[in-house]
Amino acid sequence: MIPLQFLAPVVIMGWLFAACPAYTQTPYYQGKTITVMQGRDPGGTGDMRARAITQFLPKYIPGNPTIVHEYMPGRGGLRVANQMYAANRPDGLTIGSVGAGMLSTPVLGETGAKYDIAKFYYLGAPDSGGQYIFYTRKEIGVSSLEKLRSTPGIRIGAQSVGHSNYNIPRILAYLLGMKEPRFVTGYASPEIDAAIMRGELDGRMNQADSLLKNNLDWVEKGLVDFHVILQIPKGVKHPRFGHIPEMESFARSEIERKVVTLQRTFRMFGSPFVFPPATPKERVEILQEAMRKVFQDPLFPKEFKKLVGDVPDIVLPEVLEKSVKEIPREPEVIELLKKLASPDPLPPS
């Protein structure tokens, strides 16, 4: 027992030590510099997406560190992913900003990936790619799914083989059993829409928000017929196209359902921020929480649009981590997706 006459001074001294900055714990990030390693060249859209985030990030990290950017372009961020995975000092001071190829390359068994995607820590991404909707021009008279299935030779525009706007409608055509669809590549996105209106193409897969932004009059005037949407993430209905059937509903087997899941995850992954394996858990949690707060900042969407020219499609850390854990890895699923994403004729439905 401490005599009462000695108790008050002890309490007072405790208050003084707690209140004095010299005796409080200094935040780990105070006075430090975080380097964002970008798997791309400076100045492009991906760079602007990353910089839109890092403008706000120090504000929400205790200690308000400085953030700098370095660039290591190559194979959609593969070089950065390899370097991050092999990091000798995973001290929470280096963040990777990579592309969706970081996920698809090892899953599809392509060469060059020297890492395990499940061992990274995921901090979030500003660009899930949004939801994709398939539409055809009104003049061809394909106003129902039955007509879409039975009309031969529908010309579908896309940028290139392997592009999301090529892979997703190829999967759809396979699921629906469309008759001899023709996939025409070599367009930029605005050129596809122009070719549809000129009658050179019949339809396309496009981001729903891009359609509303660039061609709202098509929707309001009924110039196109809408058929199928790919929800990203699954279960999130688009406010304008929530009534359109979801693509996975046309899967006839578990393998086909997983093919849709695989493509959905590739597109949703966007350009994530990652920490290397063995990064101390408390620093991972600090950065994950800081990213959540950036995404909630009312000024973030405005700055993102100013730099990127589009609105962010946010993917939270826990969504990325869950998607990586649940991504299909069965050989037959991967093989089917590879066939559907190739320039070869579609396999029999």
Residue ranges of domains in the chain: 33-128+270-315, 132-266+333-340
- Pairing assessment for the beta strands 273-275 and 94-97 based on DSSP bridges: antiparallel
Which tens digit of pLDDT belongs to each residue from 56-73? 999 999 999 999 999 998
Average pLDDT over residues 305-332: 91
Backbone angles phi, psi at 46, to 5 degrees: -60, -40
Return mean pLDDT, the chain: 90
In the predicted structure, residue 269 carries a pLDDT above the cut 90: no
- DSSP character at residue 245: P
Banded model confidence at residue 99, pLDDT cuts 50, 70, 90? confident
- DSSP character at residue 344: S
In the predicted structure, residue 264 carries a pLDDT above the cut 60: yes
pLDDT at 28: 96
The Cα–Cα gap between 92 and 275 comes to 7
Greater pLDDT, 7 or 41: 41
Which tens digit of pLDDT belongs to each residue from 136-182? 999 999 999 999 999 999 999 999 998 889 999 999 999 999 999 99
In the predicted structure, residue 278 carries a pLDDT above the cut 60: yes
pLDDT at 310: 82
pLDDT at 114: 94
What is the dihedral angle through the alpha carbons of 146, 131, 310, 195, rounded to the nearest 10 degrees? -20
In the predicted structure, residue 130 carries a pLDDT above the cut 60: yes
179-197: string of b/e by CB count within 10 Å (b at 16+)? eebebbbebebeebbebbe
Average pLDDT over residues 31-49: 93
How far is CA 5 from its chain centroid? 64
In the predicted structure, residue 12 carries a pLDDT above the cut 90: no
pLDDT at 1: 46
156: β partners: 183, 203
pLDDT at 45: 85
What is the dihedral angle through the alpha carbons of 187, 191, 196, 200, rounded to the nearest 10 degrees? -60
Which tens digit of pLDDT belongs to each residue from 206-241? 999 889 988 999 999 999 999 999 998 888 899 999
Average pLDDT over residues 116-133: 91
**Residue 328: both structure tokens together:** 């299909």
pLDDT at 89: 84
In the predicted structure, residue 2 carries a pLDDT above the cut 90: no
Check if 33-128+270-315 and 132-266+333-340 are the same fold. yes
Greater pLDDT, 127 or 221: 221
How far is CA 205 from its chain centroid? 17
Q: Which CATH superfamily is domain 132-266+333-340 in?
A: Periplasmic binding protein-like II (3.40.190.10)
In the predicted structure, residue 8 carries a pLDDT above the cut 60: no
Banded model confidence at residue 15, pLDDT cuts 50, 70, 90? low
The Cα–Cα gap between 278 and 319 comes to 20
The Cα–Cα gap between 81 and 287 comes to 18
Q: Which CATH superfamily is domain 33-128+270-315 in?
A: Bordetella uptake gene, domain 1 (3.40.190.150)
pLDDT at 317: 95
